């Protein structure tokens, strides 16, 4: 399982207009994701997508910790969940 995230480091947040996901590392923040000019999706969809994108680094870390906890529990009943979680982690870190 790959473990290192090579994307933009730092906390991510959605700007006040919900048009851009940026980092908090710099005063102005690095742009992680920006709504495309003239995007077709509704603003409601874009805001929902932006919130999920901003939460992605935290979700990844939580999932990695969950896999470790499930492995330490050494319960056969978690085998499918561990496999699925590791596949998702690998997909994110490819």
| pLDDT one-digit tens code per residue, 24-63 | 755 566 788 887 776 666 777 888 888 888 899 999 999 9
What are the extents of the domains in the chain? 12-93
**pTM for the model:** 0.76
Tens-place pLDDT, residues 4-21: 787 887 788 887 767 788
Residue 10 and residue 28 in contact, taking contact as beta carbons nearer than 8 Å = no
Give the integer Cα–Cα distance in Å for 67 and 86. 7
């Amino acid at each position: 399982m790959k473990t290192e995230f090579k994307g933009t480091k730092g906390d991510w947040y959605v700007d006040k207009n919900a048009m851009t996901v940026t980092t908090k590392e710099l005063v102005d923040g690095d742009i992680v994701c920006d709504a495309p000019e003239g995007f077709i999706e509704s603003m409601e969809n874009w805001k929902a997508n932006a919130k999920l994108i901003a939460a992605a680094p935290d979700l990844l870390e939580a999932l990695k910790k969950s896999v470790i906890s499930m492995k330490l529990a050494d319960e056969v009943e978690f085998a499918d969940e561990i496999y699925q979680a590791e596949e998702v982690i690998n997909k994110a870190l490819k």
